[in-house]
């Protein structure tokens, strides 16, 4: 005989996490409280910055190949982009709200946060039906 535990919704397995925000099938759990998915709005604010730099290896190659003037200038065309900052995920349920600042170190992490928020918004849309 197998016993299947009957947990309330507060112990449900999270479908997705963003920092301290956990989303189950029926509710969203934050440090500020738990709310039903149908009553929640989730928005994001992109606070990241993307900068372009000449990498260090390119500068070294310019110095090494300085005698071949045109070849050394080609190394200066090499660029490296860096994305740093935070994505603020704002959760509002009636008069209550919570904001999670998610640190972002590259463009893939930034896209991952936005994809997670899009999935949460689709879960909210399904819960409102």
Residue 123 has pLDDT above 90, yes or no: yes
Establish if 39 belongs to a structural domain. Answer: yes
Q: Which domain holds residue 92?
A: 15-51+82-127
Residue 78 has pLDDT above 90, yes or no: no
Establish if 45 belongs to a structural domain. Answer: yes
Establish if 98 belongs to a structural domain. Answer: yes
Establish if 112 belongs to a structural domain. Answer: yes
pLDDT band at 9 (very low <50, low <70, confident <90, very high): low
What is the count of structural domains for the chain? Answer: 1
Point out which residues pair with 92 in neighbouring strands: 41, 97
Residue 7 has pLDDT above 60, yes or no: no
pLDDT value of position 122:
95
| pLDDT tens sequence across 16-52 | 999 999 999 999 999 999 999 999 999 999 999 999 9
Establish if 34 belongs to a structural domain. Answer: yes
Q: Which run of H or E residues covers position 102?
A: strand 96-104
Q: How far apart are CA 74 and CA 58, in angstroms?
A: 9
Tokens for 29, please give them.
């759990």
pLDDT value of position 66:
80
If one counts every other C-beta atom within 10 angstroms of the C-beta of residue 62, the result is 18
Establish if 86 belongs to a structural domain. Answer: yes
Decide if 27 contacts 36 (C-beta within 8 A): yes
| pLDDT tens sequence across 80-105 | 999 999 999 999 998 999 999 999 99
pTM of the predicted protein model: 0.78
């Amino acid at each position: 005989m197998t016993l299947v535990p009957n947990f309330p919704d507060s112990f449900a397995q999270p479908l997705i996490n963003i920092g301290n925000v956990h989303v189950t099938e029926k509710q969203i759990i934050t440090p500020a409280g738990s709310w039903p998915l149908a009553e929640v709005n989730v928005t994001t604010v992109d606070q990241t910055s993307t900068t372009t730099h000449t990498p260090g290896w390119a500068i070294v190659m310019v110095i090494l190949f300085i005698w071949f003037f045109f070849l050394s200038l080609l190394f200066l065309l090499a660029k490296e982009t860096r994305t740093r900052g935070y994505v603020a995920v704002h959760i509002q349920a009636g008069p209550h709200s919570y904001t999670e600042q998610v640190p972002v170190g590259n463009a893939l992490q930034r896209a991952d946060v936005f994809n997670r928020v899009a999935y949460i918004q689709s879960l909210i849309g399904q819960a409102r039906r």
